[in-house]
Amino acid sequence: MPTVTLSGVGRHFGALKAVDSVDLAIKHGEFVTLLGPSGCGKTTTLRMVAGLERNDTGSIAIGGRMVSDAASELFVPPDHRKLGMVFQSYAIWPHMTVFDNVAYPLSVRHVAKAEIKAKVTAALKLVEMEAYAERPAPALSGGQQQRVAIARALVFEPEVLLLDEPLSNLDARLRAQMGDEFRALQRRLKITTLYVTHDQEEAMALSDRVVVMDKGKALQVGAPEDVYRRPASRAVAAFFGTPNFIEAKVTACRANGTDHVLTIEGAGTEGDCRAGDAYRPGDAVLVMIRPEDVTLGAAGHLSWAGTVVDGVFRGPRRTLTVESTVGGQARRFTVECPATRAASVGDAVTLSVESDNAWALRS
Amino acid sequence: MLVLAFLTVYPMAMLLYGSLHSTPPGMAGEYNFDGYASLATAENLQALINTAALSLVKTVLSLALAILLAWIVARTDTPGRGVLEILITLPFFIPPILTATAWAMLGNAQVGTINLAWRWLTGTDGTLVDVYSYGGIVWHMMQYSTPFIFLFVVDAFRAMDPSLEESSRMSGATRWQTFWRITFGLMLPVTTSAFILSFIRGMESFESAVFFGTPVGIKVLTTQIFDMITQRAQPDYQGATAMGFATMALMFLLLVLQSRLLRGRSFTTVTGKAYAPSVTRLGGLRWVTFSICVLFFALAVALPVGQLILSSFFQFFGFYQLDMLTFEHYRSVWENREFWTAFGNTLLLGFLGATATMILGGIVAYITTRTAWHGRRLIDILAWLPWMMPGMVLGIGFLWGFATLPHEIPIYGTLWALLLAYVALGTPVAVRVTSGAYAQIARDIEECSRVHGANWWQTMGRILVALAWPAFAVGWVLIFFGIMRELSASILLYVPDTTVLSVVMLKLWNSGKPETVSVIGLVMLAMVLLFRWVQLRFIKRRISTL
C-alpha cells in the first residue's frame, strides 16, 4: 500500500535546523498538506521525500519500503522512488513538445512506443489537454503548463504524488478553478498525495489533513476544521486569519466528551468556553475568538459592550474594529459581520460569542 | 549612422572595388576579373581546405573540452572552483601572439624546451612534440577558443532552472539520461551558437598559422592574403583583395547558416532569477576533475609564461647554462625606440579605441533596443557587419578606402587608420554587451523616472547609464584586450610611426630575436594581468555576453 512514513526526519544547514525532527504518517489515498510561512521547512521536507535532498536525521519509508535512513546511510535516488512530482515552476522542458514532455517518464523506462502513445493520450485527456499534444512547450499559458505538469506526474501511475506550491504562479480565479479540479482528480484516482503551500485557504479546501509547520517543526497535524477551530497553540491559531485573544482566569473546569468546558472570569465578562486540556481553577488562559464568530447585539454567552472605531466594507462582509474597556484598559476586537449590518463609526454596540466558539489556550 | 556606414559599408564596398581594380590602391588602372580568376589555383584550394579542416578540428576539440570544464566549474563540488574559473578563462585575455612565440620556443622539434627536457629525462634523442605542424596549429588555436566557448556555456550551465533537471530525475530518469536528454538538450542552442562563432573565429585566425604553418608550408586563407600583399616582390593587391572578398562571402554564408539553425530554438532557460544550481557530489573523483582544470591552466598559461620568463634571461633560448644568464634583453628593449613608440601607441589606441567603441556601441544599442525608429534594423545589421570580416580582410578594405580618399583627408599612415579599424572591429562586441544590459533594464524603470519629473537626459544619465555602467566597463575592458591582441589588421595598416606592440613582436620574431620578443611578451602579459585584475576586482559582473 502506498503510504508515506516520516520518522524523526531532519535537515540541518550548519547550526540552522531547516527541518527539525518531523514525524508524519500518510495513509493510502490520503491528501496531506504541509502548510506554513516561507522558510518554515515545508519545501525541504517535500524534497527529502522526493529524494532531491538527503535527510540528516530520521528515516523515510514509501509504500512500506525504506527509501532513506540517515542512521544506516541508506539513500534511494529519486529515479528509483516511483514518485510523481509537480514543481512550483512546472519545470516543463522547453525543448520538447507537450507530448514528449508527458511521454518522458515512460520513455526513460523504455516502455514500448504503442503503449506510450496510449498512456500519454489518456493522461492528456485526464487534464483536458489532448488537443495540445503537438504544441511546443513554450507556447503554453500558465494554467496549461500546470495541466501538462500534472499529466506528466501521473502518466506512469506513481505510488505517491508530490506537489510543490503548484497553484502559486496562477492568478486568483484560475487558482480556485485548478484547485477544485485537482481535488476531484485526486479523489477519483485515490492517489496518495503530499502537497506544499503557504496559502491557508488552499490548504483547507484541498486536504484531508493539514500539517502546520513553523521554523522547521510540525506544530500540529489534523483535519482542516480541527486545526482551524481547535488549534494547539497560539502560533497555529494566529496562522489562520486575525483572531482575537483575551486573557482570562479559570474558575471551574469540567470534562465534556473529549473536550473540557472552562468557566472563566476577569476578561470583562464571565462565562464558559471550550479547551482541549484540563485546567485547574486559578490557571491563566488565552481565549481565542475568531472574528466571524462574534455577533453584534444579541446577548450570547460571553459579551462585551463597546464602541465602533473603524469599519471596512469588503463586499460580502464588513470588518469592524470595536473598542471595549476591559478592567480599566481599552481593548480592540476585530469583528467580521455581514456587510448589510450597518454599524457606523461611533455607534455603541454589544459583542457576544457562543461558548462553543471560544477556545482556550495555555497562556 | 554615417559613422557606422563609414566604418563598415565603406571598407566592404572598397573591397569589392579593389578586387576588380587591376593596380595597387591609389593608382589608375582598369577594371577586370583577373583577381578572382587568379584565385582558382590548386594552392588556394589547398589553403581553403586547410583553413576549414583546421578550424573544424580545433572547434570540435575545444567544444568538448570547454563543456567538460564548464560542467566541472558550474555543477560539481570540485575544490577551488571560483579560482579555477578565473584561471581557465585567463588564456582568452592573453594575446595569441604571446602564446604563439612561447610555444614556438617550447615545442620546436630541435631546441624546444619540452623536447630538451624529454631527451634529458629519457636519455634518448627523440622528439616529443613538434608545434610546426597541423597539430601545433590546432593546439595553439585551442588555447584561445576553449576559454572562449567556456565563457559561452558556463553561464548556461549555471543559470539553468534546477527544477528542469530535478523533474527529470523524479520522472525516473538516471543521472546520465538526465544529462543527455535534458541538460544537453536545453544547452543545444547555446552550444551550436558557440560552435559556429568559434568556427568562424578559427577561419579568421592569423597568428597560429603564420607562426606554425608558414615555416613548414601549411597555408591558410589569412596567411595567403598576407603573403600576397607583403611577402612578394610585386604585391598582388588585386588577388589579395579578391580573396578577402571571397572569404567575407564565405563568413556571410556561415552566419546565415547559424541563424537558420537557431531560428526559434533559443529557449530562455535563463530567466533572470538567481538559481542555486544543483551540484553533483563527485567524492574522490573531484580531485581528478580538479587536476583536469589545473592541467589546462598549466598547459595554456603557466608553461608558455614560464618559457617567456626563461628565455628572457638567457643569451640564446635553447641553451640554458648558468654562464648564459643575462639582463641584456631587458636593456635592449628598454633602449629600443621602436618598442617605446609601439608601447605608447598601443596604450593610446587601447584607451581611445575602447572608449570610442563603447560610446558608439552604446548609442547603436540604445537606438536598436529602445526606440521605434524605422532605420533601427538597418543600424543593427550595419553594426554586425564587421563580425564576418576577419581583421585581415577589414584591413585590406580600409587600405583601399584610405588610399582613395581625397588628399585633404590624410588618414593612411596616421594613428587614425588603426583607430578606425579597431573601432569597426570592436563595434559588434560593444553593441552586444550594451544591448544585453539595456534589455535587462525594464522599460518601467525609465518611464517611472520620467513620470517623477526627470527629463530625457536626466533619465539617461541617472537611470540608464547608472544601471548599465558595469556592462559598459566590462565591454570597455573586452575591447581594450581586443585592441591589444589585434595583429592581422594592424600589420596591413601600420607605418613605422604608428607601429603597435603585436606588430613589433612579429617583426622581431621574424628577424630572429625570440629573446627580445619574450621580454616584450612579458610586458604585454603584465598589462593583461593588471587589467584583468582590475576587471575582476572592481567589476564583479559576469561576462555573460561574449
| A302-349 pLDDT tens trace | 888 889 999 888 888 889 999 888 767 788 889 988 888 767 888 888
Chain B residue nearest residue A86, CA to CA: B167
CB B209 within 8 A of CB B200: no
DSSP A247-293: EEEEEEEEEETTEEEEEEESSSS-EEEEESS---TT-EEEEEE-GGG
pLDDT at B62: 93
CB A77 within 8 A of CB B178: no
> And the C-alpha cell for B176?
546520465
DSSP H/E element including A128: none
pLDDT at B58: 92
> And the C-alpha cell for B527?
598589462
DSSP H/E element including A333: strand A329-338
Backbone angles phi, psi at A26, to 5 degrees: -105, 130
Residue B305 pLDDT grade (very low, low, confident, very high; cuts 50, 70, 90):
confident
Mutation target vs B (from A54, A96, A102, A108; most B CBs, 10 A cutoff): A108
Backbone angles phi, psi at A91, to 5 degrees: 50, 45
Task: State the amino acid at position A103 in one-letter form.
Answer: A
Chain A residue nearest residue B273, CA to CA: A89
- The Cα B107–Cα B149 span in angstroms is 25
Contact A88 B163 (CB under 8 A): yes
The arrangement of strands across the sheet holding A329-338 comes to: A295-296, A348-353, A302-313, A317-326, A329-338
Closest Cβ–Cβ partner in B166, B175, B265 for A52? B166
Chain B residue nearest residue A103, CA to CA: B171
Of A61-75, B225-239, B296-310, the range with the lowest mean pLDDT is B225-239
Does residue B269 surpass a pLDDT of 70?
A: no
B-chain residues near A116 (CB < 8 A): none
A104 contacts chain B (CB < 8 A): yes
Chain B stretch 23-82, residues whose beta carbon is closer than 8 A to a beta carbon of chain A: none
CB B104 within 8 A of CB B24: no
Chain A residue nearest residue B269, CA to CA: A94
CB A206 within 8 A of CB A195: yes
Contact B172 A52 (CB under 8 A): no
pLDDT at B371: 74
> Whose CA is closest to B423, among B385, B466, B367?
B385
| CB-count exposure of residue B255 (10 Å: 0-12, 13-18, 19+) | middle
| CB-count exposure of residue B277 (10 Å: 0-12, 13-18, 19+) | middle
> Whose CA is closest to B252, among B509, B81, B4, B12?
B12
pLDDT at B34: 66
Helix axes B337-370, B415-440, angle to 10 degrees: 40
B-chain residues near A146 (CB < 8 A): none
pLDDT at B57: 93
| pTM exceeds 0.90, yes or no | no
Chain A stretch 116-145, residues whose beta carbon is closer than 8 A to a beta carbon of chain B: 138
B174 contacts chain A (CB < 8 A): yes
Mutation target vs B (from A43, A49, A52; most B CBs, 10 A cutoff): A52
- The Cα A69–Cα A72 span in angstroms is 6
DSSP B63-117: HHHHHHHHHHHHHB--TTHHHHHHHHHHHHHS-HHHHHHHHHHHS-TTT-HHHHH
Count of A-B CB contacts under 8 Å: 73
Helix axes B2-19, B237-261, angle to 10 degrees: 120
A55-68 pLDDT tens trace: 999 999 998 899 99
* Cα angle B544-B297-B533, degrees, rounded to a multiple of 5: 55
Chain B residue nearest residue A152, CA to CA: B171
| CB-count exposure of residue B341 (10 Å: 0-12, 13-18, 19+) | middle
- The Cα B488–Cα B492 span in angstroms is 7
Set out the domains of chain B in order of their start, with CATH numbers. 41-225+261-302 (1.10.3720.10), 327-546 (1.10.3720.10)
Percentage of chain B with pLDDT > 90?
3
Contact B170 A108 (CB under 8 A): no
What are the angstrom distances between the C-alpha of A289 and each of A214, A239, A281, A296?
22, 14, 21, 14
B266 contacts chain A (CB < 8 A): no
Contact A87 B166 (CB under 8 A): yes
pLDDT at B542: 46
Closest Cβ–Cβ partner in B164, B172, B268 for A105? B172
Contact A87 B167 (CB under 8 A): yes
Chain B residue nearest residue A104, CA to CA: B171
Contact A79 B269 (CB under 8 A): no
A288 versus B120: the higher-pLDDT residue is: A288
B168 contacts chain A (CB < 8 A): yes
- The Cα B13–Cα B502 span in angstroms is 28
pLDDT at B407: 66
B-chain residues near A156 (CB < 8 A): 171-172
Contact B171 A77 (CB under 8 A): no
- The Cα B95–Cα B156 span in angstroms is 26
CB count, 10 Å around CB of A124? 22
Contact B163 A87 (CB under 8 A): yes
> Whose CA is closest to A285, among A259, A311, A248, A325?
A248
Contact A79 B174 (CB under 8 A): yes
Extract the residue ranges of chain A whose pLDDT is less than 70: 1, 298-300, 327, 342
The ipTM estimated for the assembled molecules is 0.72
B-chain residues near A153 (CB < 8 A): 170
Mutation target vs A (from B77, B163, B171, B262; most A CBs, 10 A cutoff): B171
Does residue B348 surpass a pLDDT of 70?
A: yes
CB A17 within 8 A of CB A191: no
Q: Where in chain A is the domain with CATH 2.40.50.140?
A: 242-362
CB B416 within 8 A of CB B352: no
Backbone angles phi, psi at A56, to 5 degrees: -85, -25
* Cα angle B22-B27-B32, degrees, rounded to a multiple of 5: 20
Closest Cβ–Cβ partner in A79, A91, A149 for B172? A79
pLDDT at A67: 92
**Residues comprising chain A, all counted:** 363
> And the C-alpha cell for B76?
560539481
Does residue B302 surpass a pLDDT of 90?
A: no
pLDDT at B272: 42
CB A5 within 8 A of CB A61: yes
DSSP H/E element including A81: none
B-chain residues near A84 (CB < 8 A): 170
B230 contacts chain A (CB < 8 A): no
Using only the alpha carbons of chain B, give its radius of gyration.
24
Q: Where in chain A is the domain with CATH 3.40.50.300?
A: 4-237
What's the distance, CA B331 to chain centroid? 32
B20-70 pLDDT tens trace: 666 666 565 666 666 666 677 777 888 888 888 999 999 999 999 999 898
What's the distance, CA A344 to chain centroid? 35
Closest Cβ–Cβ partner in A89, A95, A152 for B171? A152
B181 contacts chain A (CB < 8 A): yes
- The C-alpha cell 564596398 sits at B13
| Alpha-carbon distance B188 to nearest alpha carbon in chain A (angstroms) | 9
Superfamily per CATH, domain A4-237: P-loop containing nucleotide triphosphate hydrolases (3.40.50.300)
A78 contacts chain B (CB < 8 A): yes
pLDDT at B311: 80
Superfamily per CATH, domain A242-362: Nucleic acid-binding proteins (2.40.50.140)
| Alpha-carbon distance B71 to nearest alpha carbon in chain A (angstroms) | 20
